[in-house]
Structure 1
Amino acid sequence: MNLSVCIIAKNEEKHIENCLRSLVNKHVQIIVVDTGSQDDTKNIALKYTSCVYDYQWNDDFGAAKQFAVSKADNDNILILDCDEYLQGEESVLIELCDILNKYPYKVGRIKCINILNMNNIKQDKSWEWISRAFNRKFCTIYGKIHEQIISNSGEAVETFVSGIVINHMGYCLDDDERKVKAERNIKLLVNRLDEIKTIPEESAEQEIPYILYQLGKSYYMEKEYVKACDYFSKGLSYDLDTKLEYVIDMVETYGYAMLNSGAEKEAMSFVNIYDEFGDSADFKFLMGLIYMKNGLFDNAVKEFKKAVLYKDCKVEGVNSYQAYYNIGVIYECLGYKDKALEYYEQCGDYENAQNREAYIKNN
């Protein structure tokens, strides 16, 4: 198979073995570039591949990944992070290669399942499609952090949806780890914003709202919701394509940041963008929460009921048990215990619903 999987690493002994184990016996070349580990990362990597290289870290994820790409024997590239591991059999990689061989100018999108915690009996998950596979003769990695894949010619990139699915463990952090990661990202993103001010190219100017979005996400990770709102607001002040996934995510995360910062009244402004962004379970669930926080319970129930009509969603449960649970909470608060039980019972093994159900039945 003419595919090289490129990975950069630093002090990733906690994750890298799971990542590499998911790739062994799948007939792909594995490239690992170490950017200065002081733990056992390199030794673990050498158990799985002889292609382990050192790179002097320079606060540039994109440059490190491009260095890894330069060490590949194959032109077809799949980028993975150490805290990600592949689901599925070799056949999904073969299929990816077949598409890249046939359409080398296209970029492959993979499904990334974000595991948001490891403590609950029921893991919280969200998922997104991200661009990670490409032919290096036609495309390259762009950006110092939260990199994107762009064409070498500067033309718009065509994409295709691959069968690759990965689990991403990067959000399963304790408070200290989360703070360190967020502060590192914020520093790099702010530096990039300063750089753009000195670059005359229009492409750099177009990058600004994406950086503002990532700054908002970083502050959201740190639970600094007011700052997150500020950056999301600035990002959304630009004239953006409302169909872009990062724009949709910026809108939805902005809504949650407003609710978490106590700005539920201001969040009612989302009614004005309902027609533009409202055709998803995730947005309808968010609107349900906004109405619920503002005491508009009939409206909230209607939105939660709309959310469960969707087959797909990005955040697990917003089109099923989470929506039913919130309807149950509303009816319980209003004193309709039988109706509350009806919806709690539809939540399956969701622990919060089971606890409320037990409380009602025992009181």
Structure 2
Amino acid sequence: MSIPDVSLCMIVKNEAQHLERCLASVAGLVSEIIIADTGSSDNSMEVALSFGAQVIEIPWEGDFAKARNRTLRQSSCSWVLVLDADEAAGGWRADVLNELLGAEQVDGYFLPFIHYVGEADSGDYVTDNVCRLFRNDERIVFQGSIHEEAASSIWALPDGKIAYAAALPVRHYGYLDEELRAKNKTARNLELIQTALQHDPESIPLQYALGTEHYQQGAYETAAGLLLPLLKTAPAGSGYLADIYMKTAYALQACGRTKEAKAAYGAGLRLFPDFTDLLESYAVLLLEEGELQKPYHLLKIALQSGDTAQKYPSSSGSGTSRTCVVMGQVCERLLRYEEAADCWEQAIDYDAGCAAAWAELVPLCLLAGEEQRLTALTRQTLQAMPSELLGRCIPAALNAHAWEWLQVLAAAPQLPASVQAILRVLPELFRHTQMLDAAAAAPLERLLREGPEQPWVHGYLWAWACRTGDAAAAGKWLARLAPLRPGLAAVHHRIGLESGGGDPAWPQQSHTDHSGDPAAKLPGHADHPAGAAAIQPITFPGLSYAAQLLLQAGAWSSLLTLYRNTSPSLFQWCRLPQPLLRGLLQAPAPFREQWCSIYSSHAQQYLGTTCAAEWLLYAAVSDSCGRVPQLDPAAGKALQQSGSAAAALGLSYHKLLLAAEAFPGKNPRGSIPWLLLVRSALRDGL
């Protein structure tokens, strides 16, 4: 296959660390390389020469267009490709490039530029389309001392045409945070733009460039002041008017000028009705003000438009995965749970590792009892799921007792062997609710002997000892965990295992004494004969860690004791990871019945900010026991006044249950997703 008849033209200064990547990306795709060096002091030119480049030295005169045009005059091929050293061709193919160059009616091509932003490992990017591939014609030149462009000179040709080359993406690494810090590009750009504006103060492209520099630095008030007047003066066919609307509207929004931001969004969408970034950003503004229906409509249009990067400047996930995530959040707030799940699953279809979508979909499916949906989706995407994402899904599966899903997660080849070994043991150990044999934990102990020190194995061994009532073993594993989990000691004493607790018998009496401190007479307390030292106060992080271990291990009696002996102001179930709430409903019926009894005794203390969520959770557990949840007048009034749609729906269904209880045989139609209402109440801040 012939090498494309293309000259690569570049200007370079001290780019040795990037230049090799750039030149390697076009190997076999260009016939000659021309590099103008503007004063490098590193080995940039040695790198260039190693790729067979023709190197010329030119002085830097503060004008990018002038420097680029010097390289164009040195080119001898029929077509010219212009790149910077911090850019690279993204998987181009010579046959595709040759086919594009053979189009007789095309004078140049817009290439899709992918500008990576933020930290290097974030994967975030913004896109735009830049004309950097064009015919070698002396009439086609760059214009502008900074943010120079060649498209205007092509459009000025008789019948000049620029097409879009979707198959020729360019990856740009120069906007990554470390690059911006190292090269101080902002200061350089501002100086060049200000100098150029002194010579041409009415230049709209320069004013746009100046506003963009301030926008990128987060100086939104300054950016808005520069960009807002351009909405009236920028020509409609400029190619950057859509971006001016996007940046102006967002800058106004960011500095609190909401009314003006709405006007800018509205005007922009009348001109560019399928601009997905503009649609999504406007929807987010309206969501922040409490609107739901209009954002739903805007996001629906954005998803129908899809990825419009070839038409407008865009950012990663616009019209695809990110927009799906936002749409799912709107649907959930509208209590359209199934539609929300569909949106998040669609986001994962676009990007299997979309952490934001998994973070929403996992608890929603588990709370809805749709483990099978997660299992099927995970089977499809397992190979592409990052290890970090698996590390968040596995605890969720354990908390929800979602053993089938956990089995699929455990098969991920990207998991460390030590984690896979543990996950082969835990389901068999924990899923059998009647197993109380202390020796059953031998496989876990063997893992400690065979592999490196693994603190979370110690935690499971402690929880198993609590389940079997083995006080000595619980103390042993607590001692191993204490340096890493100091809050666990207070929980351990609160459970009172030393005095004969544990799962062989369901506890019926509270350990609370009349002093008001639930731990006052527990073994190990400073006033207790067995106490050698004062116990540190129990903290929520320690309680959360212990509650998850106990629930995962099925140590139901110990978990009930902890709940009974801890103040409701601290032990708020709805502050625990949401999948654990599904785990509650997997518990044996005696546990759930006693849990409801303890909640009822604490109910008056839940009339604060957690009233709605905690009562809805209680209703879910009570309903799972086949009982109508109780609701005293004070709690009912608090729920009514909460303003939560989830609470209102729960109260309405509760009335139906009461009516059915009063009139047997008149059962309410259907059922209600109590745990999903808990999640919605939490989103409402209740």
Q: TM-score, normalised by structure 1?
A: 0.85
What is the root-mean-square deviation of aligned Cα atoms in Å? Answer: 2.8
Change (3 A) 1:360 1:272: farther
2:61 matched residue in structure 1: 58
Contact 1:264 1:293 in 2 (8 A): no
2:145 matched residue in structure 1: 144
Contact 2:7 2:30 in 1 (8 A): no
* Residue 323 (structure 1) shift: 1.9
Whether 1:188 aligns to 2:188 is no
Contact 2:11 2:67 in 1 (8 A): yes
CA distance in 1, matches of 2:252, 2:117: 20
* Residue 273 (structure 1) shift: 3.9
1:246 matched residue in structure 2: 240
Whether 1:326 aligns to 2:322 is no
Contact 1:285 1:307 in 2 (8 A): yes
Contact 1:179 1:222 in 2 (8 A): no
Whether 1:34 aligns to 2:20 is no
Structure with the greater alpha carbon radius of gyration: 2
2:484 matched residue in structure 1: none
2:579 matched residue in structure 1: 361
Contact 1:3 1:97 in 2 (8 A): no
1:45 matched residue in structure 2: 48
- The partner residue of 1:68 within 68, 71, 76 is 71
CA distance in 2, matches of 1:301, 1:76: 47
Q: TM-score, normalised by structure 2?
A: 0.47
Whether 1:129 aligns to 2:112 is no
* Residue 238 (structure 1) shift: 0.6
Change (3 A) 1:178 1:253: farther
1:189 counterpart letter in structure 2: I
* Residue 261 (structure 1) shift: 2.7
- The partner residue of 2:300 within 305, 312, 317 is 305
Percent identity, aligned pairs only, is: 24
Change (3 A) 1:196 1:293: same
* Residue 176 (structure 1) shift: 5.3
Counting strand residues as a fraction of each chain, which structure ranks higher? 1
* Residue 153 (structure 1) shift: 11
2:301 counterpart letter in structure 1: K
Contact 1:114 1:171 in 2 (8 A): yes
* Residue 159 (structure 1) shift: 1.7
Contact 1:308 1:320 in 2 (8 A): yes
Cα deviation, 1:13-53, whole Å, max 9, x if unaligned, reads 23211110011223421111111222232221121124112
* Residue 362 (structure 1) shift: 3.8
Change (3 A) 1:340 1:111: closer
* Residue 175 (structure 1) shift: 7.9
Counting helix residues as a fraction of each chain, which structure ranks higher? 2
Cα deviation, 1:223-282, whole Å, max 9, x if unaligned, reads 2111111121132231521x5431111111222222333333431112244322222323
CA distance in 1, matches of 2:88, 2:148: 19
* Residue 97 (structure 1) shift: 3.3
Change (3 A) 1:76 1:60: same
1:268 matched residue in structure 2: 262
2:37 counterpart letter in structure 1: D
Change (3 A) 1:16 1:327: same
SS in 2 for 1:140: coil
1:177 matched residue in structure 2: 181
* Residue 300 (structure 1) shift: 1.2
Change (3 A) 1:362 1:353: farther
* Residue 117 (structure 1) shift: 4.3
In structure 1, the gaps of 5 or more residues are 198-204
Change (3 A) 1:178 1:265: farther
Larger RCO (CA under 8 A, 6+ residues apart): 1
1:22 matched residue in structure 2: 25
CA distance in 2, matches of 1:190, 1:299: 41
2:95 counterpart letter in structure 1: S
Contact 2:279 2:299 in 1 (8 A): yes
Contact 2:246 2:268 in 1 (8 A): no
2:142 counterpart letter in structure 1: I
Change (3 A) 1:81 1:176: closer
Count of residues paired in the alignment: 349
Deviates more, 1:68-77 or 1:337-346: 337-346
CA distance in 1, matches of 2:227, 2:339: 38
Change (3 A) 1:187 1:301: same
1:151 counterpart letter in structure 2: S
Whether 1:210 aligns to 2:205 is yes
Whether 1:221 aligns to 2:220 is no
Change (3 A) 1:191 1:346: same
Change (3 A) 1:19 1:328: same
SS in 1 for 2:171: strand
Contact 1:288 1:304 in 2 (8 A): yes
CA distance in 2, matches of 1:54, 1:362: 66
Contact 2:115 2:126 in 1 (8 A): yes
* Residue 5 (structure 1) shift: 0.9
SS in 1 for 2:169: strand
CA distance in 2, matches of 1:28, 1:240: 38
1:116 counterpart letter in structure 2: V
2:276 matched residue in structure 1: 281
Contact 2:204 2:234 in 1 (8 A): no
* Residue 178 (structure 1) shift: 7.7
Whether 1:230 aligns to 2:233 is no
Change (3 A) 1:178 1:327: farther
Change (3 A) 1:181 1:113: same
1:202 matched residue in structure 2: none
